[in-house]
Every structure is written in structure tokens, then in C-alpha cells.
Amino acid sequence: MTAYRDLSREELLLLKNDLEEQFQEVKAKGLNLDMSRGKPSAAQLDLAMGMMDVLNSETDLRCMEGVDCRNYGVLDGIGEIKQLLADLIEVPKDNIVVFGNSSLNVMYDTVARSMTHGVMGSTPWCKLDKVKFLCPVPGYDRHFAITEHFGIEMINVPMTDDGPDMDVVEKLVAEDEAIKGIWCVPKYSNPQGITYSDETVHRFAKLQPAAKDFRIYWDNAYNIHHLYDDKQDYLIEILMECKKAGNEDMVYKFCSTSKVSFPGSGIAAIAASDANLVDIRNQMKIQTIGHDKLNQLRHVRFYKNIHGMVEHMKLHAEILRPKFETVLNTLERELGGLEIGSWLRPRGGYFISFDSMEGCAKAIVAKAKEAGLIMTPAGATFPYGKDPKDTNIRIAPSYPTPEELAVATEIFVLSVKLVSIEKLLNA
Ligand SMILES: Cc1ncc(COP(=O)(O)O)c(C=O)c1O
């Protein structure tokens, strides 16, 4: 494969004509394809349908505390769901508080509480002149939306293959008291699929922030979401590392079963130190008398324990793995060696992150849309929707059927080629 930049102007123009013809052919099909959001497919949702049958009118609906789950009672999760989610997020059962159906909602509440009431007795953030968050980029758009919503200034921190650039993180948190948090997706990150290295986690645990109310927002959304049985990433458990470093109050861990059972009807939790959990429960007891215990019971009776959940994730992987491979193999076959884009091969999670030539991402997404393919808007993986180099595009292979995905990826690579040629011709 010759790199596009080594082709002459004439060669580029010939190639462009040929690709434009192919593009018009697909466009004429009037397709309607979506690779924009990380939603499980219907086939994946079917895997958990048994959960609809574990409770019925004959079932004993008392939890291990003896509480009737049809009624009020038990603020922060029935014992059996605490055990299951504590095992999922690898903390002791006492360090977990179970919430409702969404971890994003828990993250929103956590920022909102810090704004209005402060963190463990500190000045509420809304009374401060300036509050800032570090945002490893590319990252998850909905994290950035929360901090933007509260007027928190976001500072980009580059991602490396080992996680966020820790030289930058250490320096910034040490010198700026206005920095109150950092968004992290430490395992199979959204969108790159990167897992933070041991050294990165150790350095996180040993941070010396200027602000005593600084917290690491450790969103472990993809903890057991492996694509392979044999090639799996491993992440060090951070709450224990923070404790060993004398920093146990510095981290909030978030998780949910959204991409294990049913997104929107799963169960979310936060794990943190005892002192942090006091703060969290104080707010929770005002917010609610308790969350949906029947759903908690349903989840535990279906999965039984963490081993059941891990086995269940293998069934998800069987559906997801070929989809990831379709996309990755097509990228490799069609774009390998052309030097007009780069990507990583994740071993888990929900996304593939693609980097185009500078200044091309928006145009590629627009081009794909012309042929009926919806991608995540370019820029979405950066705070304020602004990708300074306009290169990053998030690919979400989970939702389309395998047949749709094959066509969608063809449209994507055609769009990448056409936009890149245009860029080179205009250089
Ligand atoms: C990193 C990350 N965190 C959280 C969520 C949403 O989780 P929940 O459904 O528990 O709100 C997603 C969904 O895509 C995600 O990618």
C-alpha cells in the first residue's frame, strides 16, 4: 500500500474519481445505518430475558435482611445486591452504596452535591470563584456534559497508551486548588478501549492535590466487558491503593449493570471510603426512601453471584467480538499503510477510536451521513465538543446487525479516503 501523501496529484485525482463512483453507488441505496451510540443490540438484550421470569406472583420477595421488597425499607441496597456489585467493582461490601438505574445519574448527583453542599465539610463549590475538572481526552461526552452543565471549567489532559498523561495530572492537581476532580474510565476506556497501567493507578493513588476536596471520578463502566477469553486487560483496584497511600477519601468509584443486563433498567452503585459514604448517605436519605428493591432482587436471583455475571458476559462477548473484528479487519484491509488514519485494537468495552488526518474528522462524519450512516458527532469526545485537531471519531459497533455493520464500515472507509484525498489535494 502506498501512503496517499506519496501519490502524485494525477494519481490522487484518478483515485478520487474511482472512489467517488463507489460512493455514489452506496449512496443510491438510500441506507439508514447507525454507528453512533454504544447501545447493546437486541440479541444482547435477549441474553438477559430470563430475568423476566425469576420473579412471579408465587415468589418469596423477602431479601436476606428479611425485608419485604414490595414495600419501603433498606435505603442503600439489599444485602445480596451489595455483595454482587461489591464483587463486580472489587471492594468490600461495606464500601458500597447501591442506587437506582443509572451510574451517570449517580455521577451527576455527586457533582451536584459537591456544588451545593461541598465534599465532607469543605466549602460548597458554588461558593468558589472557580471550579475546574481534568478531562482525559478523548473521553466520554456525557461526563463532559455534566461538568459543563454546572459551569465547571474543563482542562484537557492527553491520553497515552497507559491512561492519562500522569506528569500533567500530577503537576496540575498539585499547583491548582481550583481543580476538584478528574473524569476517568480506567478500563476499556470510552472511546479508546485503553486500560490504565499499574503505574498509572499507583500514581493516581499517590496524587498530592492542592484541594483537599479533590476526587477521582473512577467510572468503571466496563470492568467485566472483555471481548476475549484469553486476552483480557487487568486493572489494579484503586480504592485499596488509595488506602495504602493514605488517600482513601480521594476516589469515588462508579459502576452499573447497564451493559450487563438492561441499559436503563439495570442497577448502579458507588464505592468509596466510609467517610465519603456518610456524606453520600446523608444526601440519599433526603432524596429517596429507597430504590427499586424488586429490580435488585431480580438481578441477584438471575445472576446468583459474580461468577454468574462473568459467565453471562462471555455470551455478550460472543456477539460483540465478531462485530469488533468486522470493523477492525475492514479498517486494516482498506486503510492499512495509507497513512490517513490510525486506530487501536481494544480487548473489551464498547468502542473503537479512530484518528483521521488533522482537520478531517468533521468532514468524514458529514460525508458518511450523506450515504446514510450516522456516526457520533466529531468533537463529541472532547470537552465543549471541541476537538482542537479535528481528528477523533468514535465508532460504536454494538448496535447494528453484522450485515449492517459490514456495509456501514465500507461507507466509513470510503468517507475517510475521499475526505483525506480532498485534504491532500488542497494542501
Ligand atoms: C463510560 C460510561 N459510563 C457510564 C455510562 C452510562 O452508564 P449508566 O447507564 O449506568 O448511566 C456509559 C454508557 O455508555 C459509559 O460509556
Whether residue 102 has its Cβ less than 6 Å from ligand 1? yes
The pTM of the full predicted model, rounded to 2 decimals, is 0.97
Residue 326 has pLDDT above 90, yes or no: yes
| pLDDT tens per residue, range 262-302 | 999 999 999 999 999 999 999 999 999 999 999 999 999 99
Residue 427 has pLDDT above 90, yes or no: no
Of ligand 1's listed atoms, the one at least distance from the Cα of 106 is: 11
Average pLDDT over residues 199-213: 98
Residue 1 has pLDDT above 90, yes or no: no
Number of H helices, E strands in the chain: 13, 13
- In this prediction, residue 148 carries a pLDDT of 98
C-alpha 9/C-alpha 16 separation (Å) is 10
Cα(129) to ligand 1 centroid in Å equals 30
- C-alpha angle with apex 277: 274 to 278, nearest 5 degrees? 90
Cα(104) to ligand 1 centroid in Å equals 6
H helix intervals, 304-360: 306-335
Whether residue 260 has its Cβ less than 6 Å from ligand 1? no
Cα(168) to ligand 1 centroid in Å equals 26
Please tell me the residue having the least CA distance from ligand 1 atom 12: 221
Cα(371) to ligand 1 centroid in Å equals 29
- In this prediction, residue 76 carries a pLDDT of 95
Cα(425) to ligand 1 centroid in Å equals 40
C-alpha 356/C-alpha 375 separation (Å) is 14
| pLDDT tens per residue, range 349-388 | 999 999 999 999 999 999 999 999 999 999 999 999 999 9
| pLDDT tens per residue, range 81-122 | 999 999 999 999 999 999 999 999 999 999 999 999 999 999
Environment class of residue 43 by beta-carbon count within 10 Å: exposed (0-12), middle (13-18) or buried (19+)?
A: middle
Q: Place 37 in a pLDDT band, splitting at 50, 70 and 90.
A: confident
Q: 300: how many CB neighbours lie within 10 A of its CB?
A: 23
| pLDDT tens per residue, range 223-267 | 999 999 999 999 999 999 999 999 999 999 999 999 999 999 999
**Among 190, 254, 265, 395, residue to substitute to test ligand 1 (most atoms within 8 Å of Cβ):** 190
Please tell me the residue having the least CA distance from ligand 1 atom 14: 38
Residue 184 has pLDDT above 90, yes or no: yes
Average pLDDT over residues 1-30: 95
Whether residue 106 has its Cβ less than 6 Å from ligand 1? no
Whether residue 257 has its Cβ less than 6 Å from ligand 1? no
